[in-house]
Structure 1
Amino acid sequence: MNTTTLVTGARGKVGRGVVARLHAAGHAVRAASARPAELAVPDGVEAVELALDRPETFDAALRGVRRVFLYPQPAGIDAFVKAAEAAGVEHVVLLSSSSVLGPDAENDPLASHSLQVERALAGSGLTCTLLRPDAFTSNSLGWAYAIGRGLPIQLAHPDAHIAPIHPEDIADIAAEALTGSSLTGTSLTGTSLTGTAPLLTGPESLTFREQLAVLADALGREIPVERITRAEAEEQMGRHMPAPMVTSLLNLWAAADHGPATVHDTTQTLLGRPARTYRQWAGENTAAFTRG
């Protein structure tokens, strides 16, 4: 029986990718967003309104749904979980975060959102898969403004190591977790993702400085890198995000200064095909770094 999969956060890069993969493979898909009019979905995909802090949107979104791809939003999550159970949902794949495994995750602004949702699901009767990606390759878009204007990239920890994962790899893994069968025709490793909590990374450890060198190569020009003090970084980052988030990020990068990041699960280990590299992502996104 072709059951319906609800994809929340369908305006996001990963959510859009999951919708596209499931639809292309012939699965019934319902794309959800708090602003459904802004969704761009393939023909044949239903777009619905869903806001976790508005329970009145739950029934229509969940009607006939057996699988859910869920973005981590703690507001209203307990009510949503109860509604999903009542609607007959059988499996939830959560886009969580590797930060939930960090120290004091409950009080860490990077981790607490995802952790609250994980706990709500753990207390339910739903079968769950918790995808815990580390940094996304697309985080580099935060440098686009400066690079596009030829300005130096100023970092307190330019040699912090991370293993960034391509969002399309996350979408591949999420679609596989939802369906339990390969959508790409490639053979799987034989490992079921149902009920697991894989820690996801890209296939290689790269410092920020090394990532910028890859971007420079893709753009065909140098990108100057300047080391700044933590206080200077706090001031700059504080213009765009809350102070607790700034502290959490800078602490994370300071701890990553001391050696290569560990490479965990990738599409290679989970799906039996090579993971997309940072260089591939850079080549796909050069336009974002050349705008005036």
Structure 2
Amino acid sequence: MSRILVTGATGNVGKHVVPQLAGAGLQVRALVRDPDRAKLPEGVEAVKGDLSVPETLEPALKDVESVFLIWPGFAAETARDVVEVIAAHARRVVYLSADVEDLADGESPTLFHQEVERLIRHTGLSWTFLRPVGFAANTLGWADQVRQGVVRWPYGEARRSLIHEKDIAAVAVHVLTSAGHGGGKYVLSGPEQLSQAEQARIIGEAVGREVRWAELPLDVAREQLLAAWGDTRFVDGALAGWGAFVDTPERITDTVPKLLGRPALTFRQWATDHAADFR
């Protein structure tokens, strides 16, 4: 029986991938920083490792056929070494990338994911790239403001097709457990385009309180993001990308329904699933 290694096993996407694979009777190994603290389903093997320290991957990759690769953050310093180690042991990699064809030029995530994809393509691995648009889970960053009833952020009219992390996980499991996906570049989106102001309102409805939108001046937003992220290029690229969705809404794809045989989950469903996180 083939063994699958899942990195980012306790994160937003990985925590849904691991139990689905294990529930299907597959041998699953989870790469975690602290096996003693990782809450994993019964039968899942936890192995200590860190992508920022590529040599720690060797034990985790023993007898592994497929890897679901989720990168923590956007630092690519160890990407080449990590990809080489994976290629030396596994036969297939499914990489959680980003919609690299639809992000603003020069945006740090774009450059990072493009580089990792390039490294993977130049190995002998069979590969599949999952390229989700914006994560619905990113709106969790508004949680404190939602509790106060007002979300203050720029580009309230930017229209996004945010995807539920459960759909990303379901696609990952489908790709990992079925044939015919080698060389696939799957752009994944939600089923609708909603403005950021509409997203805030829907979150409020799920929580049971009125939440209104207050447009934050761009210069104030930039100062806040620089304080939080510290990377000028990343901040300016992210703001430019969000601003572009005002005139050109984020695209919707039919990839999720085609692969899963059901509609993609709506943002309202995501908000309902996460209502407790905003209370």
Same structural fold, with TM-score higher than 0.5 when normalized by the shorter chain? yes
| Cross-structure match for 2:259 | 270
Matches within 5 A, 1:15-164: 15-72=14-71, 74-87=76-89, 89-99=90-100, 101-102=102-103, 104=105, 107-148=106-147, 150-164=148-162
Partner of 1:184: none
1:237 alignment partner in structure 2: 225
Shift of 1:151: 4.6
Give identity over the alignment, percent.
36
Separation in 2, partners of 1:12, 1:32: 11
Q: Secondary structure at the match of 1:67?
A: strand
Q: Give distance in 2, aligned partners of 1:100 and 1:120.
A: 17
Amino acid at match of 2:236: T
How much does 1:82 deviate?
Answer: 2.5
* Cα drift, residue 77 of structure 1: 2.5
Residue 166 of structure 1 pairs with residue 154 of structure 2: no
Q: CA deviation at 1:38?
A: 3.0
Within 5 Å, give how 1:4-23 maps onto structure 2.
4-23=3-22
Give the conservation status (yes or no) of the 8 Å contact 1:180–1:194.
no
Q: Which amino acid aligns with 2:188?
A: L
State the Cα distance separating 1:100 from its structure 2 match: 5.4
Q: 1:100 to 1:70 in 2, by over 3 A?
A: farther
What are the superposed Cα offsets for residues 67-96 of structure 1, whole Å, 9 maximum, x if unpaired? 000013633222232222322x11100000
What does residue range 171-182 of structure 1 map to in structure 2 within 5 Å?
A: 171-180=169-178
Structure 1 residue 266, shift from structure 2 partner? 3.9
* Conserved 8 A contact 1:157-1:257: yes
Report the CA distance between 1:232 and its aligned residue.
Answer: 1.5
Deviations, residues 221-249 of structure 1 (Å, cap 9, x unaligned): 21121112211211222231223222112
- The TM-score normalised by the length of structure 2 is 0.92
| SS of 1:237 mapped into structure 2 | helix
Looking at structure 2, the residues matched to 18 and 86 of structure 1 have their Cα atoms a distance apart, in angstroms, of: 24
Quote the residue 2:238 is aligned against.
249
Check 1:54–1:237 CA distance in 2 against 1; reply closer, same or farther (3 A cut): closer
Unaligned runs of 5+ in 1: 182-191
Instruction: Tell me: CA distance 1:66–1:99, structure 2 relative to 1, closer, same or farther (3 Å).
Output: same
Q: Aligned letter for 1:252?
A: G
User: How many correspondences in the alignment?
Assistant: 275
Counterpart CA distance in 2 for 1:30 and 1:211 is 36
Q: Secondary structure at the match of 1:98?
A: coil
**Residues 69 and 94 of structure 1 are in contact (CA less than 8 Å); yes or no, is this contact kept in structure 2?**
yes
RMSD of the TM alignment (CA)? 1.7
Letter of the 1:207 counterpart: S
Q: Bigger shift: 204-213 or 230-239?
A: 230-239
**What residue is the counterpart of 1:217 in the other structure?**
205
Q: Does 1:193 pair with 2:181?
A: yes
CA–CA separation in structure 1 for the residues paired with 2:273 and 2:93: 31
Which runs of 5 or more residues in structure 2 are unaligned? none
Which one-letter code corresponds to 1:279 in the other structure? R
CA distance in 2, matches of 1:99, 1:115: 7
Aligned twin of 1:204: 192
TM-score after normalising by structure 1: 0.89
Q: Aligned partners of 2:132, 2:195: CA distance in 1, in Å?
A: 17
